[in-house]
Structures are given as structure tokens and as C-alpha cells.
């Protein structure tokens, strides 16, 4: 499509957008009595208008039924989490038995590493991305130390090359190959939180398996954003949070994927809790852990129902819209952002913005990260003052993520227009 950097053109795209009405299902934060241009759905997705009623239902049942709500609530709490695999399996491309909703993201990352990072004297290394999200770095560091190893020796970070911002796929694949006898686990993000780079999950998985390593992913910035086919790509495990692209509320309950080939493997170690115990006999409360033969076997605690109610409200919207339509609009939105930023650069005397997110369609999701070559803070402040919510990362990067569920092409145009005025 040939884009134009005009309001009329943006409005025309909105008119043609077959999922434009989904925006009305969300509360849009306000600024001076008007809708903000909310471009931080990669940090905290917006609240569906339906969320309150879903939570209120559980509050009512708790008020009216007390403990009996476990069995007699409208959505009984005992099996509450069982509604999610059906919905999430479509979002992450999994079988239902491979998906579980539980805990928080970093907790799940630890639990999965307990199962899938089993270093031996020969095979003990972890290959990960340099500058992964800090929580992931700390999780990896503490896991390595937990096994009595030291970080410098056991962890290999794949970095961008000198003068580049993103990591070349060939460098990832070569690092795996070069460490083929010592790598135990390859652990990557699906989408880098800083640059917005989408990694080639399928190729990284294949390369890891070829050398005999296991492979897992943190999909915090990928789930609900990019196309995922975890089962077919043969990914060993993955985890994600629900409050970014999944719109399920601050600190909301998280999710995990464990490939079918592992879920009944009795040799895998795990940290266990009663909610992972075989359902038929759980309440006999006997000694000796017998896991549920699905990803649910990794659960520890009984379900946080209020948080799950918010998750349910959000996922019902995903069901309604369908991932195909989201992917289609996402691609149009992010190419419109790139077009507008290029247009701004071209019309100014010197380049103001360097786009560090890859432009290749397979390496970009919702997020576009901009390295501000001049006036960065000034531009960011102007955006915020005029009701455009973006994200500033030191030293000089602005991240934005137009989200197909609730952002419009007009949002993107307005954002560009403010930058244009300053440049």
C-alpha cells in the first residue's frame, strides 16, 4: 500500500478497518477531557469495559456462597483456570494440554528452568540474548548460581555487532553451533523489549535441538502480538505475562507452555504443589506427588480467581476478534508508523530519529523503537504534554506500540504530527 502522511489518509484507513469497533470495548485513558493516544500497550494493555462485571460476578459469588463458591459459583473456582487453555492455545499456537495459566511471569520462568535447565559437567551453558529484560537476567543468574556454577562461565549472551542495535540471526545460530557440546539451554525472548526485534523462534528452536539443547522463550512481548506456533515449532517451554498485549490488568496472572512431548515425562524434575496434583485424588491429601498429566501439573497454588476473571474478560475479546484479523491490522499499523517516521526524517534537514526495530516484516511486531539523535527528551515531553502516551528508556530511546485491538491509524498520525511540529 502507498501511504500518505495526512490526517485524511489515516481516517480513511480507519474507515476501512474491519476491526475498528473493538476500540469501543476498551477504556481509553483521558488527558484534559480527551482520549489520549495510548501507545504503551506493550507495557500495560488497556482495561476492557467488560472487566469490572467479570470480577463483580466472582465478588458476588464469594459474598453469597463463601467457600461453596469453589463448586457452586456461576464459574466454579475449583476448575476456574481450566477455561483458559482453549482460548490461549489459539493465541500461542499450542495444544490445549500444553497450556496453563498460573502465577506470575518470573515465577513461571523459574519453575520451568527447574524442569528444563539440568546442567551436567559437560552440558551446562545457557545461551541468551544480551540485554534481556532485567528480571530474566536475574532469573538466569540465580538459577546458574543455584546449580553451583558461575555466570561468566555458564552464560553466553549473544550481542548485536559493533555499531548495530539488533542481534543478527546468523550470530545466534552460530553461537549455538559453536557451543554444541556444552550448551544445555537456549533461552530467548520472543520479542526484545527494548528494540522490538522479533526473533526467529522456529529457526532458533531447530538449531538448539540439532545440537542436543533444550529451548525456551519468554513471550512477555510476544503473546497477543506476533504469530506463534509453539507446538509445531517444537518449542520445549515458554512463559508470558497477561498484562501487556493480553490486557488482563496490572500484575495479572501469567501463562506457561510445556510441549506435549514433555508433559508426561516422569524424569523431569519440578517443584510441586497441591494444585498440580492429580485431580481425582487431590483431596485425599496423601503423601507422594502425582502430577496432572498436562501442563497443569506444573501448578502450585489454587487459582487467583479475581485476577483470572480479568484475564477471562480480556481473552473473550481475543476470541471474538481472532488472531488473523489482529495480525493483518498490526502489520498495517507498524508499517504506517515506519512510513511516517521516514517522512519526518526526509523532510527535516538532519536525521532526528533512527529506527532501531528491524524493518523486515518477520522481525517486527507492534513495537517500534526510536533512537532519538537529537531533541529526544524535548520530543518525548511534547508528546506526553499533548496526550500521547509513549515510553522513554534511558539514554535516548522512545518506544511505542500501536495495538491493533484499540489503536487507530489516526492515533499514529497524531503521534507523528506532534514530532513533525518540533522537528
Ligand X SMILES: *Cc1c(COP(=O)(O)O)cnc(C)c1O
The residues binding ligand X (CB under 6 A) are: 104-106, 133, 135-136, 189, 193, 218, 220-221, 241
* C-beta of 118 vs 135, nearer to ligand X: 135
Compute the least distance from the CB of residue 368 to ligand X, in Å.
16
Compute the least distance from the CB of residue 193 to ligand X, in Å.
4
Q: Which three cell numbers stand for residue 389?
A: 502516551
Q: Contact 245/251 with Cβ under 8 angstroms? A: no
Q: Contact 356/195 with Cβ under 8 angstroms? A: yes
* C-beta of 136 vs 411, nearer to ligand X: 136
CA separation for the pair 120, 1 (Å, rounded): 53
* C-beta of 3 vs 392, nearer to ligand X: 392
108 contact partners, CB below 8 Å, separation of at least 6: 102, 239, 254, 255, 256
Compute the least distance from the CB of residue 271 to ligand X, in Å.
16
Compute the least distance from the CB of residue 134 to ligand X, in Å.
8
CA distances from 93 to 61, 152, 233 (A): 33, 35, 9
SS3 content of the chain, % helix, strand, coil (to 5): 45, 15, 40
* C-beta of 212 vs 251, nearer to ligand X: 251
* Per-residue b or e along 127-143, where b marks 16 or more CB atoms closer than 10 Å to that residue's CB: bbbeebbeebbebbeeb
Cβ count near 7 (within 10 Å):
13
Query: Between β-strands 237-240 and 214-218, what pairing exists: parallel, antiparallel or unpaired?
Result: parallel
Residue among 295, 218, 216 nearest 260 (CA): 295
Q: Which three cell numbers stand for residue 170?
A: 546468523
Q: Which three cell numbers stand for residue 332?
A: 498495517
CA separation for the pair 188, 173 (Å, rounded): 12
Compute the least distance from the CB of residue 242 to ligand X, in Å.
9
Compute the least distance from the CB of residue 244 to ligand X, in Å.
6
* C-beta of 223 vs 352, nearer to ligand X: 223
* C-beta of 46 vs 292, nearer to ligand X: 46
Q: Is 346 exposed, middle or buried (0-12, 13-18, 19+ CB in 10 A)?
A: exposed
* C-beta of 106 vs 175, nearer to ligand X: 106
One DSSP character per residue, 10-46 reads: HHHHHHH-TTGGGGGGBPPPEETTEE-EE-BTTTSPP
Q: Contact 216/237 with Cβ under 8 angstroms? A: yes
Compute the least distance from the CB of residue 46 to ligand X, in Å.
16
* C-beta of 231 vs 244, nearer to ligand X: 244
Compute the least distance from the CB of residue 203 to ligand X, in Å.
20
Compute the least distance from the CB of residue 240 to ligand X, in Å.
9
* C-beta of 193 vs 336, nearer to ligand X: 193
Compute the least distance from the CB of residue 146 to ligand X, in Å.
18
* C-beta of 246 vs 379, nearer to ligand X: 246
CA distances from 248 to 45, 49, 308, 335, 411 (A): 7, 12, 8, 27, 22
CA separation for the pair 230, 335 (Å, rounded): 26
Amino acid at each position: 500500500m502507498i501511504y500518505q502522511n495526512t490526517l485524511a489518509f489515516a481516517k480513511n484507513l480507519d474507515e476501512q478497518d474491519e476491526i475498528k469497533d473493538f476500540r469501543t470495548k476498551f477504556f481509553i485513558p483521558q488527558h484534559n477531557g480527551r482520549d489520549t493516544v495510548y501507545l504503551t500497550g506493550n507495557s500495560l494493555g488497556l482495561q476492557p469495559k467488560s472487566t469490572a462485571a467479570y470480577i463483580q460476578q466472582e465478588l458476588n459469588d464469594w459474598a453469597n456462597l463463601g467457600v461453596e463458591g469453589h463448586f457452586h459459583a456461576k464459574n466454579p473456582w475449583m476448575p476456574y483456570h481450566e477455561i483458559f487453555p482453549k482460548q490461549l492455545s489459539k493465541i500461542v499456537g499450542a495444544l490445549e494440554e500444553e497450556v496453563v495459566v498460573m502465577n506470575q511471569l518470573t515465577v513461571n520462568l523459574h519453575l520451568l528452568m527447574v524442569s528444563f535447565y539440568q546442567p551436567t559437567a559437560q552440558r551446562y551453558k545457557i545461551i541468551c540474548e544480551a540485554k534481556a529484560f532485567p528480571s530474566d537476567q536475574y532469573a538466569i543468574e540465580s538459577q546458574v548460581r543455584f546449580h553451583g556454577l558461575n555466570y561468566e562461565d555458564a552464560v553466553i549472551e549473544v550481542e548485536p555487532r559493533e555499531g548495530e542495535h539488533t542481534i543478527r540471526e546468523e550470530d545466534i545460530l552460530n553461537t549455538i553451533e559453536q557451543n554444541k557440546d556444552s550448551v544445555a539451554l537456549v533461552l530467548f525472548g520472543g520479542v526484545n523489549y527494548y528494540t522490538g526485534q522479533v526473533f526467529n523462534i522456529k529457526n532458533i528452536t531447530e538449531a538448539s535441538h540439532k545440537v542436543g539443547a533444550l529451548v525456551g522463550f519468554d513471550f512477555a512481548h510476544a503473546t497477543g502480538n506476533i504469530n506463534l506456533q509453539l507446538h509445531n515449532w517444537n518449542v520445549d517451554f515458554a512463559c508470558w505475562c497477561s498484562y501487556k498485549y493480553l490486557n488482563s490488568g496490572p500484575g495479572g496472572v501469567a501463562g506457561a507452555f510445556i510441549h506435549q512431548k514433555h508433559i508426561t515425562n516422569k524424569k523431569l524434575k519440578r517443584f510441586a504443589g497441591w494444585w498440580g496434583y492429580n485431580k481425582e485424588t487431590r483431596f485425599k491429601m496423601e503423601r507422594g506427588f502425582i502430577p496432572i498429566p498436562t501442563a497443569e501439573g506444573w501448578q502450585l497454588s489454587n487459582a487467583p480467581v479475581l485476577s483470572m476473571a480479568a484475564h477471562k474478560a480480556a481473552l473473550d475479546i481475543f476470541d471474538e476478534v481472532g488472531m488473523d484479523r489482529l495480525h493483518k491490522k498490526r502489520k498495517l499499523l507498524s508499517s504506517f508508523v515506519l512510513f511516517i517516521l521516514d517522512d519526518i526524517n526526509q523532510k527535516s534537514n538532519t536525521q532526528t530519529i533512527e529506527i532501531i526495530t528491524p524493518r523486515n516484516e518477520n522481525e517486527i511486531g507492534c513495537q517500534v523503537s526510536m533512537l532519538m539523535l537529537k531533541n529526544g527528551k524535548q520530543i518525548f515531553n511534547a508528546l506526553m504534554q499533548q496526550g500521547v502516551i509513549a515510553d522513554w528508556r534511558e539514554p535516548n530511546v522512545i518506544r511505542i506500540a500501536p495495538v491493533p485491538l484499540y489503536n487507530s491509524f489516526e492515533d499514529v498520525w497524531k503521534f507523528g504530527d506532534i514530532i513533525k511540529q518540533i522537528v
